[in-house]
């Protein structure tokens, strides 16, 4: 095995995993791993098994640690629960707060080790997943792909502690999602500025996540679809229609995988929704916190997506009979917010607000039959969303999520 080293940068601790076969004459990929609330680098490394994969695949792993003492000059850099403060404005811009800190940590690692600048990635869980999303927006010239597990879209919340000391706005967005994920996409496009470039993004979210509602996983995809669409010269709203939707079972849990292609026919975005999984790292090691040992192994899938652009090896897959999906068909099984995962029925379906995925500009996509084998979605979990009427009399967006949550609570 390699070395798991301790460092401190400007008062922040971080750990760095260096594989045993590191050679100074070669350049290596670097993956930044951002832990969730109540975690630390050792815990996160143990739960994800990322160091073991790094040893096999020969890449370095940087684990920044948010467990930072309160400093009067940097209140945005402190959180009593060890969470990355993704919801503060200072931590959502280039050259400020957490993004600047992570960027400078990367440069310090580059000063000690040979890193391939074209293979720098970020991934995280929960608050760390939200920060990974922010890093893709604020430093698109540094990161070449991001993985977001149980996170939120860019600019999902903007908390001002003097008027919202308990960050209620952030909690509301975690429970209900944002009002308009397309607007989040527009904000991300503006924030990128002259460094704009399309970002490859993979999202994992548990259907039974009662901490960060699973609608946020879909909204992260919508945000990035809009951002990438605008970067590609599009106008209006991106059509968030997957080129392929596939339902299968891996390691004891069923899942649905949505794949989105860009104009160059590349698999730019992926969304993995895991059935009967809560606020955890899918396929993780129980020696770490917030992990579920069953289900698709997020660690391997994320790395393959970011670095190799490959699907999971076929021998690890259990294939299902297939049929073609047409139109804006998305499988999403959000849990009632007042039930724990153990209380949930095997299948819970919900009608999403169509306006939330309303397309006005159609992107060229290939059908599932053209890209791979087609996927079967059980009739009880298939949700077809039709575009809404564009007239001024349509239901206001601000009421859609309250309606959705009301329906969920009744279930």
Q: Where are the alpha helices (DSSP H) in 12-82?
A: 41-48, 50-57
Q: What is the pLDDT along the chain (411 residues), one digit of tens a residue?
A: 899 999 999 999 999 999 999 999 999 999 999 999 999 999 999 999 999 999 999 999 999 999 888 888 888 889 999 999 999 999 999 999 999 999 999 999 999 999 999 999 999 999 999 999 999 999 999 999 999 999 999 999 999 988 998 999 999 999 999 999 999 999 999 999 999 999 999 999 999 999 999 999 999 999 999 999 999 999 999 999 999 999 999 999 999 999 998 877 778 999 999 999 999 999 999 999 999 999 999 999 999 999 976 433 333 333 333 333 333 333 343 333 333 333 333 333 333 333 333 333 333 333 333 333 333 333 333 333 333 333 333 333 333 334 334 444 444
Whole-angstrom distance, CA of residue 138 vs CA of residue 222: 18
Provide the pLDDT for residue 72: 83
For 208-263, strand residue ranges (E) read 244-250, 253-261
- Terminal CA-CA length for the chain: 49
Q: Are strands 281-282 and 253-261 parallel, antiparallel or unpaired?
A: unpaired
Cβ neighbour number for residue 163 with a 10 Å cutoff: 8
Q: In sequence order, what are the beta bridge partners of 383?
A: 330
CATH number at residue 183: 3.40.50.1820
Q: Is 108 exposed, middle or buried, given 0-12, 13-18 or 19+ CB atoms closer than 10 A?
A: middle
Provide the pLDDT for residue 98: 97
Could you give the dihedral angle defined by the CA atoms of residues 103, 270, 33 and 72, in that order, rounded to the nearest 10 degrees?
60
Token pair of 211 as six digits: 């901490």
Structural domains of the chain, count: 1
Token pair of 102 as six digits: 């992570």
387, 359 in Cβ contact below 8 A? yes
For 163-203, give the secondary structure using H, E and C. Answer: CCCCCHHHHHHHHHCCCCHHHHHHHHHHHHHHHCCCCCEEE
Residue 135: CB partners within 8 Å, gap ≥ 6?
A: 32, 99, 102, 122, 142, 143, 146
373, 367 in Cβ contact below 8 A? no
Whole-angstrom distance, CA of residue 78 vs CA of residue 167: 13
Provide the pLDDT for residue 309: 61
Q: In sequence order, what are the beta bridge partners of 269?
A: 201, 260
Provide the pLDDT for residue 116: 97
Note down the domain range covering 31: 3-410
Q: Is 136 exposed, middle or buried, given 0-12, 13-18 or 19+ CB atoms closer than 10 A?
A: buried
- Report the predicted TM-score, pTM, of the whole model to 2 decimal places: 0.78
Helix-strand-coil split of the chain, %, nearest 5:
35, 20, 45
Provide the pLDDT for residue 357: 35
């Amino acid at each position: 095995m390699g070395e798991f080293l301790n460092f401190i940068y400007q008062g922040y601790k971080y750990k760095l995993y260096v594989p045993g076969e590191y050679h100074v004459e070669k350049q290596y990929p670097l993956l930044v791993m951002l832990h969730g609330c109540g975690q630390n680098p050792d815990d996160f490394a143990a739960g994800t098994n990322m160091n073991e994969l790094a040893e096999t695949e020969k890449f370095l792993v940087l684990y920044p640690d948010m467990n930072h003492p309160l400093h009067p000059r940097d209140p945005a850099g402190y959180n009593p629960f060890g969470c990355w403060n993704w919801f503060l404005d200072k931590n959502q811009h280039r050259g400020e707060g957490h993004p600047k800190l992570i960027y400078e940590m990367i440069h310090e690692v580059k000063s000690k080790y040979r890193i391939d600048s074209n293979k720098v990635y970020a991934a995280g869980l929960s608050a760390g997943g939200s920060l990974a999303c922010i890093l893709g927006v604020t430093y698109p010239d540094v990161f070449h792909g991001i993985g977001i597990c149980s996170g939120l879209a860019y600019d999902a919340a903007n908390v001002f502690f003097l008027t919202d000391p308990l960050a209620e706005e952030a909690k509301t967005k975690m429970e209900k999602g944002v009002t308009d994920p397309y607007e989040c996409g527009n904000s991300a496009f503006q924030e990128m500025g002259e460094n704009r470039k399309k970002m490859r993004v993979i999202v994992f979210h548990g259907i039974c996540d009662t901490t960060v509602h699973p609608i946020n996983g879909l909204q992260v995809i919508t945000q990035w679809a809009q951002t990438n669409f605008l970067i590609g010269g599009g106008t209006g709203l991106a059509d968030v229609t997957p080129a392929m939707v596939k339902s299968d079972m891996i390691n004891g849990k069923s899942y649905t995988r949505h794949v989105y292609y860009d104009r160059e026919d590349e698999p730019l975005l992926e969304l993995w929704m895991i059935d009967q999984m809560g606020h955890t790292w899918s396929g993780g090691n129980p020696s770490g916190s917030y992990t579920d040992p069953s289900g698709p192994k997020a660690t391997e899938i994320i790395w393959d997506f970011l670095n190799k652009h490959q699907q999971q090896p076929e021998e690890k897959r259990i294939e299902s009979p297939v049929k073609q999906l047409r139109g804006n068909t998305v499988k999403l099984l959000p849990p009632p917010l007042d039930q724990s995962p153990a209380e949930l029925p095997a299948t819970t379906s919900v009608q999403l607000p169509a306006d939330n995925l309303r397309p006005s500009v159609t992107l060229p996509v290939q059908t599932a039959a053209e890209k791979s084998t087609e996927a079967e979605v059980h009739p009880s979990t298939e949700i077809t969303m039709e575009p809404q009427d564009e007239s001024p009399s349509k239901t206001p967006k601000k009421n859609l999520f309250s309606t959705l949550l009301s329906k969920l609570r009744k279930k």
